[in-house]
A and B are shown apart, each in its own frame.
Chain A
Amino acid sequence: MSKEENTANRPDNTAFTQQRLPAWQPMLSAGIVIPGFVIIGVAFIGIGVALFVTSQNIQVLEKDYTGIERNSSCFKCTNPRVKNCNCTINFSLDKLFEGPVFVYYGLSNYFQNYRKYGVSKDAVQLTGDLAYFTEPSTTCAPYQRDAKDKPIVPCGSIANSMFNDTFKLFQIVNSGNVEVPFDGKGIAWWTDYNIKYRNPTTNPLKNAFNDTVKPIFWPRPAYELDPTNSANNGFINQDFLVWMRRSALPNFRKLYRRITEGEYAKGLPAGDYALVIGYNYPVLAFEGRKKVVFSNVSWMGGKNQFLGIAYLVIGSLCVVMSIVMLIVYAKFKFPDEE
C-alpha cells in the first residue's frame, strides 16, 4: 500500500521528461570545417568567374539627358514654361549592339521608396471597383479629390507623378532617318497586368470615368493613355503599370521598350543614331537626373559587376581562411584523450 503511494508521486520516467532524448551532438571538428571552407571557397570562385565573364559580355549604353549644361541639346527644355519641348541626343555605336536590346529610362535622386508616397494609392480602385471611383480612399490625400471636389481616378501620389517623357530612336543612314521600332507589350509583371490592376468592366471604358477627373499632372485621362492601341488604356496601360511598381532605391531605372522587331531583332548595327526625346517630366526642382539606358541581358539579367567581384573576393577569402585554420590546427592540435 505504501509502495503504491510512493510510486504515485514519482515523476515521469520517460525520455522526454528526464532529458534523455536521443540526440545528435555535432562538434566543430577540423575534419568538417576545413574541407567545408575549401569547398565553399572553390565553389564561390567558380561562380564568381562565371558571373564576371557573363557580366563583361553585356553591353550597356547610358545617356543623361537632363540638360543641365548650357551646351546640351536638352537645355532649352529645362525651362518650365516651355511646353511640348523636343530635344535630340545623337550617339554612335562602334559595333553591333547585340539584341534583343532593351530601352530603359532612369531617374536619380527620386525617392519612390518614401513611405508616404508609397501608401498614396487606392489598391481597390485600381482593381476596377467602381464604388471607389466615386469615393477614393483617404490614403490618396492630397490627390484624392481636386479643387472642385471631384474624385480623381486613379488617385494618389504615385499615379499622379507618372513619368511622361517619350522616346523615339532613329538610325541615321544615307537615305535619311529610319525609325527603330519599339515594342511596348508585356513590359510589366504578369501579375500586375492580370491580377492586381483591372479595368472596370464598363464598355466603353470612357463611361466608367464619368464624374471623375484625371490626375492633376497628367496630360490625358486614364482611358486615353495610349491613342494607338485601345487595349493599352485604363489601368492596364503598360507604362502605367511599370511606373506603379515603385522602386526600392533612389537611383533606379524602369523598362520602357524593347527592340525586337524587324531587322533590329538581332541588335542595333554599328552606326549613328538620333534619339528624339519628348521632354515633359521636370526633375530639376529636386536635383534629380534623367537618363536613357540601352542594354541587353543574359541568364543572370543585366550587367552586374558587383556580383561577380563579390563572389570572387569571398571565395578567395574562404580559401585563405581555410589555410590559416589548417596551420592553426596543425600547430595546436586538439589533444586526443585515451
Chain B
Amino acid sequence: MDNISGEFALVISGHSLAHALEADMEAELLMTACACKAVICCRVTPMQKALVVELIKKHKKAVTLAIGDGANDVSMIKSAHIGVGISGQEGIQAVLASDYSFAQFRFLQRLLLVHGRWSYLRMCRFLCYFFYKNFAFTMVHFWFGFFCGFSAQTVYDQYFITLYNILYTSLPVLAMGIFDQDVPDRRSLEYPKLYEPGQLNLLFNKREFFICISQGIYTSLVLFFVPYAVLSNASQDTAEPLADYQTFAVTTATALVIVVSVQIALDTGYWTIINHVFVWGSLGLFFSIMLAMHSQTLFSSSPNQFHFVGSAQSTLLQPVVWLTIALATVICIVPVLAFRFLKLDLKPQLSDTVRYTQLVRQKKRKAVCFSGGAGVRGAAGSTSEGRLGARGGSRRSGYAFAHQEGFGELITSGKNMRLSSLALASFASRHSSSWIDTLRKKKHSHTPTPPGAASGDSSPAPSCVSGSAAPPLSNSPSVLGGSQDAAIEEEEARTPPPSPLQAKPGSSTSHARPPSTTLLAASESTQGPSTGGGPGDTAPSAQGESGGWTLSLGAVQEALSNWRSLGVRSSSPGPPSL
C-alpha cells in the first residue's frame, strides 16, 4: 500500500479520461491517480469505468472492488476482482452481474470488515489444517517404505485410507471453515486495523505453508517411529507379539485420528454446538466404523475384503497400545501448544489482543450479571448491526448523474416552442448556454457565428437560440461561473440514464448548472477531436457569446488543441454535420 502524503483529489471527466486512457498516457494517469487520496471520474461511459478498473488491476498488485447499482456499472463490476451490486432503485442489473449484492451502500463496511475478514481467516486456517492432516497421513507410508522393502505396502487398512478424508477428518474442518470467528463482528467494525493481515497476505503465504508442511512431516515421523519402536519388541500380556501387521496398522491409524482431532480442536477458535458434534462425532464414528469393519459379521460376508477381522478388538484392549497412542499424541501436540503460547505472549497480534479484551469484558459482564441476578446472554456473538430492510421510503443519495449530452439540446433549444423571448430566455438561462454554442457549432462548422448573428441558414434552430439567448447569456455568467466549483460534487458511482440534463434539475443539489463548465469543456473537447480543423473557429464563436468567462474557455481550448495534436483521433470519420 502506498503511503499517500498530502491531501489531493483528482477530478476528471469522461472526455478527458478518454485521452488519459490512451496507451501513452495511462501510466501518467495511474501515477497521478495513485498519488491522490481520492479520484473522481464524472460523466464517464460504462466502458471507461471498466477501463479504469482494469488499469489498476494491470499495473498495481492490488485487489480491486467495484460497487454500483445501475446497468451501466455492470462492465465495471465484471472487470474488478470483486464486484458488488446494490439492489434497489436502479433495478437488478448490477446485482445479476455482481459477486456480492446488498441493498444499501453502507453495508459495504460490514461486507469488508466483518465478512471479508472472517472469510479470509477461515480459508487460511482451513488450508493450513488440510495440508497438515494429509501430510501426516501420507508421509507415514514414506517412512514405512524403508522397512518394507519399498514395496508400496500400506500402513493402514484399505478402508481406513478410503474413509479417512471422507468421514473421519472432513467434518470438523468443514465446521471450522464455516463458523470460525476470531473476534466478534462488533469488534471487527470497531478496529478496522484488523483488516490489515488480509491485505498484507499474512495468514497464508509461502512461509505459513512451509510451516504447515513441516508440522505434517514431523507428525508423520512421530506417528510411524513411536509405534515402530514400541511394538517391534512388545507383546500382549498373553505373550503374543504385538508386532504383527494388523496390530501395527490399527495402532497407527488410531494414533493418527486422535492426533489430527486434537490438532483441529486446538485450531478451532470458536466452538459452536455444531463444532462439538462434528469433532467428537468424527472420533466416535472412527471407532464405531473400525469396530464394525473388524467384526465377524462382515468377515463372513466377504472374507477377502474384510480380512482385518478381530484386529481392533484385540489391539485396543492392550494397555501398551494405549500408552503408545498417548505418547505419540503428546509428542505431536505439546510442541504446538508451547509454540502457540509463547507466540501469544511474546508477539501477540492485534486480533489476539482484541479477543483477549473481549473475553475479559465478557467475564466481567457475566460476573456482574450473575451477582445482579439478571441473566444476560454472554454470547460471543453480537446482534447484527444495521437493520435490514428499508427505512420507510426510499432515500436517494445526493449524487449527481452525469452523462454525455444526448439530444436534449435539441429539445431545450426551444426550436419547437413558441415562447416569448423572455420565457425562452429564462428557460434557456436555466440550462447551459453551451448547448446553444454546441448546437451552433454543430450546425455551422467553420463559420464564426457572431453573437446573435444568424449563422443559421443551414439550420434555423441555433440561430434562433443564439439570437435570443445572447443577451441573457451576458447576464448569467454569475450563475454559470459560480457553478464551476460544483463540478466536484459529482460522484463516479452514479451515472444517469442518457437523458438530457434538463430532465434532472432536481437531482443536483444546489447549483443550477453544476456540470455546465464541464459540459462546456466536454462539448469543446467533442468538437476538438472530431472536427479536424475547426478549433480556431469554435473559439471565436465561444468568445463571442460567453462574455466574462471567455478567457478560461480559451485556455481550455488551447489545452485541448494541444491534446488533440497528440490524440489518435485526429482522423475523424468525417466532421459531423455542423
Contacts and interface: CB of A to CB of B under 8 A. Distances in A.
Contacts of B181: 19, 23
A191 B309 contact: yes
A44 B179 CA distance: 35
B235 A250 contact: no
A180 interface: no
Interface string B245-256: 111110000000
Contacts of B313: 191
A338 B357 contact: yes
B91 to A, nearest CB: 14
A127 B274 CA distance: 45
A244 B74 CA distance: 71
Given A332-B345, A334-B356, A304 B381 contact: no
A299 to B, nearest CB: 6
A3 B234 CA distance: 75
Interface in A290-338: 295, 297-304, 306-307, 310-311, 314, 317-318, 321, 325, 328-329, 332, 334, 336-338
Contacts of A252: 232, 241, 243
Contact of B330 (A27, A102, A302, A314): A314
Interface in A210-268: 245-255, 258
Q: Interface extent on A, as a size class?
A: 35 or more
Contact of B231 (A30, A112, A248): A248
Contacts of B228: 249
A185 B270 CA distance: 56
Contact of A118 (B153, B359, B388): B153
A189 interface: yes
B376 interface: no
Given A321-B338, A338-B357, A123 B245 contact: no
Interface string A185-210: 00111111001100000000000000
Given A21-B381, A189-B314, A297-B235, A310 B327 contact: yes
B237 interface: yes
Interface stretch (A7-15, A84-92, A149-157): A7-15
Contact of A298 (B237, B300, B364): B237
B140 interface: no
Contact of B151 (A33, A36, A115, A318): A115
A337 B357 contact: yes
B320 interface: yes
Given A247-B245, A248-B231, A306-B229, A24 B239 contact: no
A104 B241 contact: yes
Contacts of B235: 255, 295, 297, 301-302
A51 interface: yes
A13 B388 contact: yes
Contact of B269 (A25, A297, A325): A25
Interface string B313-333: 110001110011001001100
Contact of A114 (B148, B154, B303, B338): B148
B331 A22 contact: no
A113 B245 contact: yes
Given A24-B271, A114-B151, A40 B334 contact: yes
B337 A33 contact: yes
Given A47-B323, A111-B149, A328-B342, A20 B310 contact: no
Contacts of B242: 301
A215 B241 CA distance: 26
A19 B314 CA distance: 45
Interface string B395-420: 00000000000000000000000000
A307 B384 contact: no
Nearest to A322: B338
B241 A255 contact: yes
Contacts of B179: 19, 21, 23
A297 B310 contact: no
Contact of A28 (B148, B303, B304, B341): B341
B564 interface: no
A114 B149 contact: yes
Contacts of A44: 330
Contacts of A190: 310, 314
Nearest to A302: B235
A190 to B, nearest CB: 7
A301 B240 CA distance: 8
Nearest to B355: A27
B6 interface: no
Contact of B148 (A113, A127, A245, A310): A113
11 contacts: A26-B269, A26-B271, A30-B345, A191-B313, A195-B296, A295-B239, A297-B239, A302-B241, A306-B233, A310-B226, A314-B331
7 nearest CB pairs, A to B: A191-B310, A248-B248, A20-B381, A115-B153, A115-B151, A302-B235, A123-B303
Given A114-B149, A255-B241, 9 more contacts: A23-B380, A28-B344, A37-B334, A126-B303, A245-B244, A306-B229, A307-B234, A337-B360, A338-B360
Interface of A: 6-7, 10-11, 13, 15, 18-28, 30, 33, 36-37, 40, 44, 47, 51, 100, 102, 104, 111-118, 123-124, 126-127, 137, 187-192, 195-196, 245-255, 258, 295, 297-304, 306-307, 310-311, 314, 317-318, 321, 325, 328-329, 332, 334, 336-338
